[in-house]
Structure 1
Amino acid sequence: MTDPDVVIAGRYRVVRSLGAGGMGRVWLARDEVLHRDVAVKEVLLPRWLAADEQEELRRRTLREARAAARLSHPSVIRIYNIEYDGERHWIVMEYVRSRSLLQVLRDHGALPVDDVAGIGLAVLSALDAANRVGVLHRDVKPSNVLIADDGRVVLTDFGSALLDENAGAITHSGVIVGTPQYIAPERARTGISTPESDLWSLGATLYHAVEGRGPYARPTIMETLVALANERPDAMTRAGPLRPVIEGLLRKDPRARLTPSEVERQLARIAEGPTVRLSGAAGRGWRPRRWQGLAAAATAALMVSAVALAADADDGRGRTPPAVTAPTGTGGMAETEQSRLPAGYRWWYDPTGMRVAYPAGWEMLREGSDAMLFRSPDDRRTLRVRTGEDPNAPRGYRLVRETATETDYVFEGASGPMRGRDLVVDAPGRSYLVQWRTPQADWQASLPSLDVITQSFRPAGG
């Protein structure tokens, strides 16, 4: 759905898009019955998945809604309704004018200690409320913490929530739910979630907020996971009085971590001004002093869940460099290289030095430890870049053309015939697969974009 003024379920009139992620797109809409603004999450199932995989993700999304709907708390996004139009589900939620903590950190850098303590108290309060009804979040991180225009701190995206109702963990073959820097060591090792693992993720989020980076900032996901298993968090230089509480939350043994009441006491001593308590109204009237006067400039944002690893690239990968001047450490990218791209394209770069151009406005989704997916806003075209070969042939695969480095093929997509091209690029020590897929009817029209992408690709060291 892309046209404005569409009415969902005869009630919610769409105004505009708010954002998108791995499993859905969020729209600002007007509830014409209650006369209020709402956020409506349009559940989008990846078209390249088989029917049984799509059904699993559909069940997971509805489980998300049921989990979040059980919560009534000022620091948790409220779920109002679930609608189904015969083709897809819509989740109707509270609309919060806000920016994510991740965006605030990107815009303003590391935050003052007392502001971080206040944020921590609000998130802790939300987690405590969730635990009281048997809900675990499983994906606490800066992109899932919203800083509202009115000063509220809101924990959103219970898409990875796990209900203690014998429902079992929500898993998917080959997919890690969560972002490595914010996953507790025991979760990365066993896949089992507990309230203590959510507390570890809170500690990693507070670390990022006060230090300006995650506790295990490594160039690759694999290096992050190895460090998570074997090393202590990186040394803190800005945390000051927050250091003991963060260290207490990031203990590898979950039995040795600080309890929620201990965390509350320590954060409350650090935070200044009106703060929250586990028994109080979280975030009421509280706004970090650093952001006073910025509310009018804050954009509306509602972060939605990613199927795989953080589409928002919390681990420092996948950020778009500014036009013309590239930041340092971009694998040797020349300062004017962005300006050489055709209009409408941006660079995606990997800390190892690999980079490729992609169409501006496309979503970026991390897939496992070795692939990045770029997806058009209408979900019709995809670009995937991965190391090594693709182990999965799509449904109905049929070869069209094959050379030493390129393979063209057609296959059956969820919405009709699709066509793809796989380009293999060999580099010292590794090979890359650049994969382009589009509806078969759009193949010829898509070739100019494919040419820009393939000509832009540079392997690490290239």
Structure 2
Amino acid sequence: MSEEPGSERVIAGRYRLLSPLGEGGMGTVWRARDEVLRREVAVKEVRAPAGLPEADVRRMYARLEREAWAAARVAHRNVVTVYDVATDDGRPWIVMELVRGLSLADVLDAEGPLEPRRAALIGAEVLAALRAAHAAGVLHRDVKPANVLLSDDGRVVLTDFGIARVDGSSALTMTGEVIGSPEFLAPERALGRTPGPESDLWSLGVLLYTAVEGASPFRQDTPLSTLRAVVDEELPPPHRAGALAPVVEGLLRKDPAERLTGERAERDLRLVGAGGSVTGQDTTRADTVPGGGFAPTVTARTGPEASRTPPL
């Protein structure tokens, strides 16, 4: 177990734990000080539940190490930077850059639903991170508001690759086990099929829907009923999404082959974020400019919302 804040436990003789930054079902992320490089970092520990069989504990630690491996393969400004994997007391601890800011989940809890333009701007940055991960052969598999950090310096950072799947790696989950957050899980994953990049795009669609509508589209009372809704229920029509609606609906098509591609979705999100509008077809309602770009000011909105950006 971790010691209480203020005890300043030192991990691997180098990383001094200062205070907890966040806590979830699998452990705690700490603000820490690297005594060698004299800088603050974030350190993630996994806390094995009491009574967990040793084989499951080892699997949990292997999953944690794979998070570092997966994230370290993706060099991108929108992906959290991993510095080190330290071993202390027989456990791995992931040492990462300290991102100062709030998670998207925290922002939604504090402010309520976002305006479509603001959600689109955040979504475009998350999608840029996902496309970089996919290009490196990494599927995130747990895209949700709690894993998106809105940095004080304006960056949008995708974190927590703890259940990521890397091409060529062996599976670390038991047969039939579903990992990830059920309400953000793609239908093909809920059915036990092999996921691809399209599964992360579905999760991004759920994230965007949740951000603008204030509620997850398929959440039910139990995880099982949520998974059934993901597979069988129609998408509740978004009412607050505005110009973002075609993108959300395009990402949340049940058949992964029919979803928007990452390239198309990022283009559309940046257009909506700039004040433009898109359709569900292959064309946009904004004039194009030389080089295949867009002139979003043609359909840009006016008023206070036109100047809003993700929180700094």
TM-score by length of 1: 0.58
Contact 2:103 2:148 in 1 (8 A): yes
Q: For residue 114 of structure 2, what is the aligned residue in structure 1?
A: 111
Contact 1:145 1:155 in 2 (8 A): yes
Secondary structure in structure 2 of the residue aligned to 1:258:
coil
Q: For residue 264 of structure 2, what is the aligned residue in structure 1?
A: 262
Contact 2:122 2:310 in 1 (8 A): no
Q: Deviations over 1:9-29 (max 9, x none)?
A: 222122111122222222111
Q: For residue 251 of structure 2, what is the aligned residue in structure 1?
A: 249
Residues 1:70 and 2:73 are matched in the alignment:
yes
Structure 1: gaps of 5 or more residues:
274-287, 296-462
Residues 1:52 and 2:71 are matched in the alignment:
no
Q: Deviations over 1:301-324 (max 9, x none)?
A: xxxxxxxxxxxxxxxxxxxxxxxx
How far is the alpha carbon of 1:291 from its aligned partner? 6.5
Secondary structure in structure 2 of the residue aligned to 1:84:
strand
Runs of 4+ in 1 over 6 A off after TM superposition: none
Rounded to whole Å, the distance in 2 between the matches of 1:168 and 1:197 is 19
Q: For residue 298 of structure 2, what is the aligned residue in structure 1?
A: none
Contact 1:38 1:93 in 2 (8 A): yes
How far is the alpha carbon of 1:127 from its aligned partner? 0.3
Contact 1:162 1:170 in 2 (8 A): no
Q: For residue 85 of structure 1, what is the aligned residue in structure 2?
A: 88
What is the percent sequence identity of the aligned residues?
Answer: 51
Residues 1:128 and 2:131 are matched in the alignment:
yes
Rounded to whole Å, the distance in 1 between the matches of 2:61 and 2:193 is 21
Secondary structure in structure 2 of the residue aligned to 1:190:
coil
Residues 1:98 and 2:117 are matched in the alignment:
no
Rounded to whole Å, the distance in 2 between the matches of 1:66 and 1:60 is 10
Rounded to whole Å, the distance in 2 between the matches of 1:225 and 1:39 is 33
How far is the alpha carbon of 1:218 from its aligned partner? 2.2
Contact 1:44 1:88 in 2 (8 A): no
Structure 2 residue identity aligned to 1:185: P
Of 146, 150, 157, which aligns to 1:147? 150
Structure 2 residue identity aligned to 1:289: R
Kindly name which structure, 1 or 2, has the bigger radius of gyration based on alpha carbons.
1
Higher strand content, 1 or 2: 1
Rounded to whole Å, the distance in 2 between the matches of 1:191 and 1:53 is 23
Q: Deviations over 1:266-286 (max 9, x none)?
A: 11211138xxxxxxxxxxxxx
How far is the alpha carbon of 1:113 from its aligned partner? 0.8
Q: Deviations over 1:331-374 (max 9, x none)?
A: xxxxxxxxxxxxxxxxxxxxxxxxxxxxxxxxxxxxxxxxxxxx
Distance 1:52 1:177, change over 3 A: same
Secondary structure in structure 1 of the residue aligned to 2:191:
helix
Structure 2 residue identity aligned to 1:90: W
Rounded to whole Å, the distance in 1 between the matches of 2:91 and 2:172 is 20
Residues 1:289 and 2:299 are matched in the alignment:
no
Q: For residue 360 of structure 1, what is the aligned residue in structure 2?
A: none
Structure 2: gaps of 5 or more residues:
276-306
Structure 1 residue identity aligned to 2:56: E
Rounded to whole Å, the distance in 2 between the matches of 1:84 and 1:145 is 26
Q: For residue 137 of structure 1, what is the aligned residue in structure 2?
A: 140
Contact 2:176 2:192 in 1 (8 A): no
Structure 2 residue identity aligned to 1:268: R
Distance 1:134 1:291, change over 3 A: closer
Q: For residue 32 of structure 1, what is the aligned residue in structure 2?
A: 35
Higher helix content, 1 or 2: 2
How far is the alpha carbon of 1:145 from its aligned partner? 0.9
Matches within 5 A, 1:296-315: none
Residues 1:202 and 2:221 are matched in the alignment:
no
Rounded to whole Å, the distance in 1 between the matches of 2:181 and 2:308 is 29
Task: Work out the number of aligned pairs and report it.
Answer: 278
